Structures are given as C-alpha cells and as structure tokens.
C-alpha cells in the first residue's frame, strides 16, 4: 500500500477490526433468513457492535477528537476542530437480506473539510481510501473517475426512497428523465459504495436525495481526489449534508446535474 498518514492508518485499522465480527454476523444473518422472526434484532446488534469498535479504536488513537456516528450521534471532543464521521454498516438492508454489498465507512473532518476517508467492503476486501491532496486508491492502486463524455454511454448509480421516506414522486421523475439518456441506471443499496464506485470509474455518476452526512462524508473525498465533481442537486444546499448529492466524472456530472434540476 502507498504511504499513508498515521491518522489514516488508524482509520484503516479501525474498519478492519470492526469488520471481523461483522463477517461472522453476516454468516449468521444468512442462516436467520429461514426463521419466522427474521434477523432484524440481530443486525441492529451487529450495527451497534461495529460502531462501538470504531469508537474505541479511533478514540484510543485520537482521544480528543469528536465522533459522529449513525447510532450514537455526535460525541464532542476536547479538540473542536477534528471529528470522525462514521457509518458502521452502510447498506444495512443489504446486510439484513444477506446480500454481500455493504461497507464500513469512516471520514475525518477538520474545520469543516474532509481530510481523510476510508470505505471498506469486507466481503470482497476492497479498501477505498483517500487523503486530501494525495489522490484516491483502491487497496494499493490509484483510481480515477471515468473518462466518458457522452451520457448515452454512461452507467449511473442512484438510490430510491423506501417505506417511510419522502421523495418517491420526485425520484420517479428523475429516473424517467435520466433513464432515456443513459446506458443504464443501477440501485445497489449502499451510497458509500456508490460514491467509491464513481471514484473507481465503475459508475460514471451518481445521485441521491435524503442521505445523511455519514453516508457521504468519505465518498465525497474519494470522488474529488479521483478527479470527479461533486454538487448538491438543489442550489443552496451543502453537498456534505447529504440532503441532495450529484457526483461524477468531470464531463458527465454537469450534464446529470442539469437533467436533475430540470426534472
């Protein structure tokens, strides 16, 4: 692996430690699919256990830093300028259904800017990572966004709202507008991996609404360090909030953004 900073090394170590029991849990979830009760409570426990591991490893290495996690919320540190932003299992519904497409993701924010990012799919052992100004990597290989220029050749990732979430009608309009102009649209269920896949050139672009900061924090740095563009879909929103996200290769992202705003 190319040289990484001490703090990024800590982040990589943290996601690996969180993933070890998760792999065992994933096998148990597959077995629980046959039970009447289902694996919901089991997965909640796996999520909490993974976040606890991340918290312990990261706080031991950087005890003054803040911590923002999906499960425990914001824990302020004595160092107000640094915060770890964590999603212990991004793609929980996939995990719940024993689908091997989910990730552990951690970002380090310093004074409002993401400085380091890790997104790890433990099933296939893909470690996406980046540091500000140093590029983006998959394991030990440098990655770049795709070089496509024509929307008709592009594969676009997105997310769809599920039960209890807003925006179903808006999403249908957006899929209709974009689907007529691209080679394909995919919805795989993990925004963190979707963003990492844009950085690696697997997707040419990605959009989604109603995400959270921990869903996108690491992925936004991955995309920019891989040469891509990031924007909020709706003007006036902060893309880092996750409320509306449009990212992609430099020639494709502006075209996608224009279609989304028109829809």
Q: Which of 25, 71, 83, 92 is catalytic?
A: 92
Radius of gyration of the chain (CA): 18
* 123 labelled catalytic: no
Check if 92 is active-site: yes
- In the residue annotation, 70 being an active-site residue is answered as yes
Question: Does residue 140 carry a catalytic annotation?
Answer: no
Tell the residue number behind the tokens 């899929």, with chain if given.
175
SS (H, E, C) the chain: CCCCCHHHHHHHHHHHHHHHHHHHHHHHHHHHCCCCCCCHHHHHHHHHHHHHHHHHHHHHHCCCCEEEECCCEEECCCCCCEEEEEEEEECHHHHHCCCCCCEEEEEEEECCEEEEEEEEECCCCEEEEEECCCEEEECCEEECCCCCCCHHHCEEEECCCCCCCCCHHHHHHHHHHHHCCCCEEECCCCHHHHHHHHHCCCCCEEEEECCCHHHHHHHHHHHHHCCCEEECCCCCCCHHHCCEEEEECCCCHHHHHHHHHHC
Catalytic residue among 47, 87, 208, 251: 87
Question: Which one of 51, 90, 174, 208 is the catalytic residue?
Answer: 90
Q: Among residues 71, 215, 225, 251, which one is catalytic?
A: 215
Q: Which of 85, 89, 143, 233 is catalytic?
A: 89
Catalytic residue among 25, 70, 131, 251: 70
What is the set of active-site residues? 70, 87, 89-90, 92, 215
């Amino acid at each position: 692996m190319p040289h990484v900073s001490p703090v990024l090394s800590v982040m990589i170590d943290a996601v690996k430690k969180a993933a070890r029991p998760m792999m065992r849990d994933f096998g148990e979830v597959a077995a629980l699919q046959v039970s009447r009760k289902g694996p919901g409570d089991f997965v909640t426990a796996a999520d909490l256990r993974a976040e606890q591991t991340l918290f312990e490893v990261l706080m031991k290495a950087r005890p003054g830093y803040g911590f923002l996690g999906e499960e425990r919320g914001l824990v302020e540190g004595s160092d107000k300028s640094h915060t770890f932003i964590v999603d212990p299992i991004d793609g929980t519904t996939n995990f719940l259904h024993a689908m091997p497409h989910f990730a552990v993701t951690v970002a380090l924010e310093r004074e409002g800017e993401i400085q380091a990012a890790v997104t790890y799919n433990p099933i296939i052992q893909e470690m996406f990572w980046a540091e500000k100004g140093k590029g983006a990597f998959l394991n030990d290989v440098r990655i770049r966004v795709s070089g496509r220029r024509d929307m008709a050749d592009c594969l676009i990732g997105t997310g769809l709202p599920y039960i209890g979430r807003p925006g179903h009608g808006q999403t249908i309009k957006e899929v209709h507008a974009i689907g007529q102009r691209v080679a394909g649209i995919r919805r795989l269920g993990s925004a963190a991996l979707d963003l990492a896949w844009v950085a690696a050139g697997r997707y040419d672009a990605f959009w989604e609404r109603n995400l959270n900061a921990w869903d996108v924090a690491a992925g936004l740095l991955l995309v920019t360090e891989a040469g891509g563009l990031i924007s909020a879909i709706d003007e006036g929103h902060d893309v880092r909030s996750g409320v509306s996200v449009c990212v992609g290769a430099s020639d494709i992202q502006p075209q996608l953004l224009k279609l989304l705003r028109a829809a």
